[in-house]
Every structure is written in C-alpha cells, then in structure tokens.
A and B are shown apart, each in its own frame.
Chain A
C-alpha cells in the first residue's frame, strides 16, 4: 500500500513537470504591446491585487496558482493581460488541466463538453446518476453544461464569463420562450469562437443576429415579404439596434421608429429555421437558411444609409458594419460592455476613457477592448464599483472554494441549487431579452442578501464539508479536502493563523487586505484557531457579547489574545492524525463561510 502511494506521488509529480514543460512549449508568453494605451496604469500599480481584481471580474476568480498570479504581476501589464484575457477554450496558465478529466482533450466547446459529460465513456467522471442531466431530453441541459464548464479546471473561465454575459445579458436568448438548448449551446460556442478568433465585433453581432437562436427567440424566422407586403413582427428590428449596438434612436426618434426599425424588420425576412428531431421529441434546430424568395427585394434605407443585399444575411452583415460606426453605438456600446461586466458606478471621467479606447480601435475587437480597459485607469480606479450579481458571487465562491475537479464531480458545493435558491438560472434570464439579474439589482435587494447570508449559517455544512464517502460503502472515502496544497507556509514550514487568514481574504475578496480590518481579523482568527466565534473564544460564558472595533483595538486583554493567536500554528493541517487534519480543514471552511457573508463579498472596488 505504501509502495502504491509512493508510486502515485511520483506519477503526480511527473505529471506536473510534464504540464509545466508542455505549457512553456506550446503556450509562449505573449507580447501585448498593442494593449498599451495612454490610459494604461503604471507598472507599479500593476500589483498582485490588481491582477486578482481582473481575475475576479473577468474570470470568476480563475484557477491560476499564487505563483502564476505573482508572475503576471511582475510582467508588464500589457503582456500579462494578453495572457490572462483570451477567449480560447483552454488557457493553461489561468486554468491548469486536471488529470481527473483531462478536459484539454475534449474540444472545450459547450457542445463538445455536453457530449462528453452525457457519454458513458469510461473516462467521463460524471456520476452515473448525473449523466442524464446532459441529455437533450433534460429540461436543464444547457444550464447544467454551463455549470459544469464554469467550475472545471482545464477550461478557460474567461471564455465562460464572457460567454455568459453575451448570451445571458447582451445578446440574450431564453429557453423559456422556445429557444432550444441545441440552439443555445451552438449560439454560445459560435459567439465565443468568434471572439477568440478576434473577429470584428460587428461580425460577431451580425452572426448572432442571423442565428437560429435569435430568430427563434424573437420569431422573425416567420417574417416574410410576400405580394409586395411585409408580414411579421418588428421586435428584433428594434433590439438589433438597441440591445446589440446601443442605438436608441436619439439621433432622430421619428426616423428611427418609422424608417430604421420598419426597414430593419424587412431586412430580417425569409430566415428559415426548421424543427429537428431527437428520439420522440422535436426542437428548433440550430441550422438556418437565408432565402431570397420571401425576402425583401432590393435595398432598404436604414440608419440613413442604403443597405443592399439579396438575403437577410447579406443585408444584416452590411447593416452591422454601418451600425458599429454609428455615433450612438460608438458612445453606448463600450458603456454597455463595461457596465455589464465591470462597473456600476460610471462617471464622466471613466466614460470618456472607455469611449476613447473603443473609438481608437481600428477594428472593433472585443478582447482587444477588454484588455486595454482591464489595465486602464478606468478599471483600476477608486470610483469603480462592481456589485456582484448572484451569478458572479456564487461562481466566484464556488471556484475559489474548490481545489480540484474531483470535488466538483462529486458535488461538494452545489452550484445549481445555489443558483436556484437565489432565483437565477443560466439561459432562462430574469428579464427575458434584457438579461439576467444584474449586480445592481442584487445589491439593492435584501432578500438576495439574506439568501447569501443564510447560506453561511443554515447552509454552512457545505462550507465545512471535508470529505465525501461512497453512498454504498460509508467507509470508503471518495474525496477529502486538503487546503495544504494551496495555503502559504511560514518559513519554518508551518501554517500560521495570520498568514492563512490573509491568504483566504485575498483569495475571496481580492482587495489587498484593504478591508481586512481588526474586526474582520478577530473573527477570522478565532474561527481558524478554535473553530468557534470570537465572542465565545474570548469568553464562553458570554458568547453573545458584541465586540466593537474600538474595543478590539484598545482593550489590552483583547489585543494580547489576538496578537497571540495570529502567530498560532495550524498544525492540524499537516497532522498525520486524520481527525486533526479534518478539524483544521473544517475550520478553514468556517472562515470562508464568514468571509463570504461579509459585505466585501458582494461587490468589488477598483482600488
């Protein structure tokens, strides 16, 4: 048995060596010279905290090691951001592969991943009972596929964050109004492939507008021009301009209403989507054809320009090229993107920067824009506030809690149920085409706060879960939590309360300890050191006493206790005694439950 363990250790070590080498050979460090603008922050401002803020905003925290985060912070910001913000299916430095599932061999698109997780392939680690969730017969297949993609090491979390924003907010489609999961997954993959390939943004928006998913969502698949008359609805004709490009009609309301929108509706004619069939159930297929027979013949005046073309495809592609350069789009589209992803508190100074970065891009490439923005003074700005939606916060929490894919396959932290509890669901947005719950909405609603808070109290068992056993054989341990693989060690090789507490705070809150004050420290230290709350730890006969910051900072007894405990060793973490080890890991879970219920886990500041 001992020999077998040794063999396993060697195999894992070899695998890490191989992965490191592999990463260097196939994934060279990038040159991000093009990302530099007049607004790029200085090298001194590009700190580990700055990197973490980027990761929290655009990658649900990411899966990069502390060493990698440090390495990025030591690079020039324009080079590091090139490496961090990509939309390819894999990004090894941001999300190292995990031997549990070797997802780097699975294609990496949602469609390919769904096929893998739905398969009976021996290498599929999905629990047999859960495989059915990935069948198209399951009502929640699209959401389950996304949940699984967003939480797995080996897949690029930036791709999932941007993909979710595009398909659940900006270019939203909704399974609750008839869009099929087949369409939704293909739509997601196509948009993200386009972004990964650095296609011009207008091309991606045109492809989305011409997709079967959007034609089904708005039903312009039934729009026709027949016998000299348009028949259909003008729903998407309006939203193409408003939601996709940010053109609200302020340039000329009457013209926009009676010429642009009405003619765009005519441009969206003869787009045929057919029903597909799988087993006994039928669904709207992802394939779409652009006919000419029932399409409006000839040119149309839209946005005060002549838009020609013989089919919807030809016209919409031309229209998208015009729309992206429209003055309203130039002003609004970058704001829609930044407001959606990163800033709920835009002011004139930041708006000017954002618009200038967008305007200066000769080709409107979303990734190029986001890279420039993510290292700009607009992002790393003291006035920037991003309130986390339930989606952001829950995925962040989940991904920073999990230490490997094995526990995610075993469902150690149930993301799907957490979403349901907070009233959000992927691909079934709360506001239909206007998108899912926003961070602003979440932050204003006490009920959502309550649900998150309660998760750390009545739902604390999920945070302190330190092992999962086989359902049939309770003595067979399938997985155990072991934070030592990630926690920082003291110079003497020990784990200390203060170091661990600060590491956890930075991991989840990413503020460079700005808000990790004496009050927060007192509570986290007590939980880590004793597994009890601060008041109980100080005096178990008065556990309901409230200790204020002032008391903690001025009362000699409290100061001494805290100073003692912050140096205390967490020897249980590396103990050979299984029970001690479990207790120590459980206390880390308690500390995380506490940190994630503080106000600082509900929003992010720019600095």
Chain B
C-alpha cells in the first residue's frame, strides 16, 4: 500500500468510525504525492570544476610516483610551499578513502560526500571527455546539447535533458534563473531548433502562479487596479492563444502564460499546505550556521524540494540546477573550497536536501539520482596564479540510492606522471560523456539512450570500465 492509498483508506475508515479527532489528524498530514517514477537531477558546475582538487592522491615521497608528481605540480593551487612536509601535511587534512585498492582523499569540507561514497551511493566516473576545445561557451553548448559536433554558433539546439524528458514522456523542470540549453526539448522538424513544450521554469516556486488577487476569487467584479489588470490579461492571453501562429516569435510567451496558468493554481494550492523544511530554508537564509556561501543554490534546492512535492502535478522526470563560479584561474583554494562545502558538506546542500526528502517523501529520495559535472576540467598542473587553467577531460559524479557506487575509470592515470611537468597538459578524455549520460537515460526509461544520444554506441569508452553497471538493476 502506498502513501496515497494509505491516506485514502484511513480517511474512509475514519469516516465510517466517526472518529473526529482521528480524521483531523489525517487531514493535517502534508499532502505529498506518491513517487513511483525515477527522477534525474542534473547539476551543472559552470566554469569547469577542478575535481582533482576535490579528490587527491595520497602523498608519496617517491619522486617518480603519481603521489609526488601531483602534489609538487599542484602546490600553488593548494597554496603550499614546495616542500615534502607541506604536501604530506596537506594530504593528511584530506578525508582518506579506500575502495578496491585505490586510496584517495576527499576534501575535508566534503564530509557528506565521503559518507555517501562509503555507503555505496556515489559513482566517481573518471577521464570523461567534455569538449575538444577549452572554450567555456562552446564547451557548455557541447555538454548541454550532448553532442560533440555542436558548433559554437548553434545556440538554439535541443538539450539532452529535454530530449530525455520527451522520450520518457515527462517534463524537465528548471530551478535556475534562466532556462539552459540542457532543458531544451527536441524540435519535431528542425534538428538545430528546439521545442520547449516539455520545459517548466521553476526558478521561483513560491509563488509559482501568475498574480491574481485573492479578492477576485470571491468577488469577480472587484474593481481594484490589480483586479482590472488580472482580468484583462487573463482574458487577453486566453483569447490570444486561439489566434497566434505557433511559429510566431511571440508564441513562446503565450506558452509561458499557459503553463503558469495551468500549473500555477494547483502548485500554489499544494505548496500552501507544505512548509519549506527549516533546514532547507536555512541554506539560503542569512544567519543560520548552515547558510551556504551561494544563497541562490540554496533557493534552487528549495525549488527542487517543492518540485518533488508537486511531482505528480508537473510530471517531474528531469530537473536542472546550476552552481556557477568554478573557473578557478586564480586563488583556487579560496575560490572553490567554499563551493565544495556548499554542495557536499555536512548539513549543507545535498546532505540537507536528501535528508529532508527522505523524511517527507522517502519514495522520491529512493528514486532520485544526481549527475554533477562541468563543461570541462582543468590542467594537470597549477598555474602561476595559485589556480588552474582549462583542460578537456574531467570527472562526472553520480549520486543516489540507485547508483552502484564506486570508481569508474582510472582515478589517477599513471600515464599522467610524465605530463605533469609539461605546460598545458590536461586529463585525457578516454570516455565520451554519451557513455555515462546514456546509462542515466536507460535508467530513467529503458530504450531512450540511443534516441537521446544517437552516436553513443560508437563513442569512446575507457577500456574495461563497466558503465552498464552504474545503476542498481
């Protein structure tokens, strides 16, 4: 018996038994929906995150070893003196993890991530090729479209999130201030265009609806200025929808109005009865001990929570989040470590979100998977400005109850050792992102991977890595 059935049967039982108090208690239960469908959340770390700062190899005094070469090449981005003792000390600050014979450290601010990894809920997929250029704008288009062939000027293409939502017959909800290409749905006839009928903007869930004065609900002829405008615009848009050509450049605004009108009231009604959990509220508050450095990301997590609370209303299958500011050319340590803490720290972003989701909507928490990636990675060695410059390959993280945790792909490739001292060298992209993201598609809806990523079967894959095992069956 699922939650909804339980409440229904309890209501009937209470009604028959005439148990007034019992009935009130049941009615007071938060009206969360049941969650039977899987949901994929894409978290884009815009700017190119340095996952080699999040995950580090153990220091090794053998100068030919990876563990020595890494620390000496990365000394400035860790703000270290060029001394073995400094490397050793810094390594000791990291949270030591061992898995299948691989020892590595997770940054101390990311304590929740360590716990989740050790609980088998985190897949670290290494050596993923993000783009063949090191250009932010182009690489973002490539990543979000899910096609390495996307040119720098093809800004209107569909995104792989939108294509997956369409294939899975669901919607993609964007928690971000503006819709990104990832969300764009496929256009029925134009391969370089998009159709966003599968996209909903959830940048502000409270309030979600278009403004409509309360008084109009009981007094339709109310003549306040706001009431006059609310009636005039509602009427105008409804009539306009019947006449405007779908190919008009203005049609998208009618689509927005329709979506906000159709979903708005139901969402507002639902959310009126659901309080934002205090720990989530604290993430974007100003004075809580757990307040995040990036308040906007806290609000995105609030929007995500609300989207799960309305998942049945909005047919939630895909969600899109952004955390920006990862382009760490200078003062990398100061710049990205607070961000690690925001996302992966104890009582911070993902920890709080997952805990609250589990408390209120446990079926949803069991069925959600996050993918975390940037448009590219960084170079093997730090630069002369205590930062790192652009590189092509990077790591992708998958997190969730249904993820088969572990390390996928060589964590610290030995082939990098001689390249540490060469300027401009980066992580070799051995695996196409299509291989990784394609598995997400299959998990969301069997048979969708080749629709979303038509070139997946012929794309590169690191030898011996069981990508098909990324999810628990």
Contacts and interface: CB of A to CB of B under 8 A. Distances in A.
B172 interface: no
Interface string B238-256: 1110111000011111111
Given A441-B179, A446-B260, A597-B233, A234 B383 contact: yes
Contacts of B133: 248-249, 253
User: Which of B179, B184, B242, B390 has the most CB atoms of chain A within a 10 A radius of its CB?
Assistant: B179
A178 B120 CA distance: 41
A222 B385 contact: yes
B220 A453 contact: no
User: Which of A224, A257, A541 has the most CB atoms of chain B within a 10 A radius of its CB?
Assistant: A257
Contacts of A385: 249
A534 B324 contact: no
Interface string A213-227: 000001100111000
B223 interface: yes
A599 B325 contact: no
Nearest to B47: A432
Interface in A250-271: 253, 257-258, 262
A603 B203 contact: no
B134 A232 contact: no
A40 interface: no
Contact of A233 (B136, B234, B329): B329
B177 A533 contact: no
B212 interface: yes
A248 B155 contact: no
Secondary structure at chain B's binding surface: helix, strand, loop or mixed? loop
Contacts of B330: 219, 222, 233, 235
Interface in A144-203: none
A534 B178 contact: no
A310 interface: no
A443 B235 contact: no
A445 B235 contact: no
A248 B135 contact: yes
A33 interface: no
Given A218-B329, A523-B232, A442 B250 contact: no
B455 to A, nearest CB: 20
B413 interface: no
B177 A599 contact: no
A437 B178 CA distance: 8
Interface string B188-214: 000000001001111110000011110
B235 A534 contact: yes
Interface string B260-273: 10000000000000
Given A453-B233, A457-B212, A602-B253, A445 B178 contact: yes
A450 B389 contact: no
B177 A434 contact: no
A345 B249 CA distance: 10
A491 interface: no
Given A457-B230, A464-B225, A231 B136 contact: no
B423 interface: yes
B352 to A, nearest CB: 23
A127 B123 CA distance: 58
Interface in B315-351: 324-325, 327, 329-330
Contact of A533 (B132, B232, B249): B232
A174 to B, nearest CB: 10
Contact of A238 (B202, B257, B390): B390
A447 B201 contact: yes
B13 interface: no
B384 interface: yes
A460 B136 contact: no
Contacts of A443: 252-253
Contact of B155 (A258, A440, A447, A541): A440
A224 B384 CA distance: 9
A544 B212 CA distance: 13
B387 A423 contact: no
A289 interface: no
User: Which of B152, B210, B324, B384 has the most CB atoms of chain A within a 10 A radius of its CB?
Assistant: B384
Nearest to B200: A446
B259 interface: yes
A448 B225 contact: no
Contact of B178 (A230, A249, A442, A545): A442
B228 A233 contact: no
B198 to A, nearest CB: 13
Contacts of B324: 431-432
B249 A603 contact: yes
B36 interface: no
B44 to A, nearest CB: 12
A546 B243 CA distance: 13
Contacts of B389: 233-235
A233 B387 CA distance: 7
B263 to A, nearest CB: 10
A461 B155 CA distance: 38
Contact of B229 (A218, A219, A594): A594
Contacts of B232: 523, 526-527, 533-535, 594
B250 A544 contact: no
Contacts of A549: 239, 242-243
Interface string A444-470: 111111110110111011001000000
Interface of B: 46-47, 132-138, 152-153, 155-156, 174, 177-179, 184, 196, 199-204, 210-213, 220-221, 223, 225-226, 228-236, 238-240, 242-244, 249-257, 259-260, 324-325, 327, 329-330, 383-385, 387, 389-390, 423-424
Given A449-B253, A526-B232, 9 more contacts: A235-B329, A258-B424, A262-B423, A432-B47, A432-B325, A440-B155, A541-B221, A547-B239, A602-B250
11 contacts: A430-B177, A432-B324, A450-B204, A457-B212, A534-B235, A546-B234, A546-B235, A547-B239, A594-B229, A599-B244, A603-B249
A-B pairs, top 8 by smallest CB distance, nearest first, are: A231-B384, A447-B203, A533-B232, A599-B250, A446-B201, A441-B178, A599-B253, A233-B385
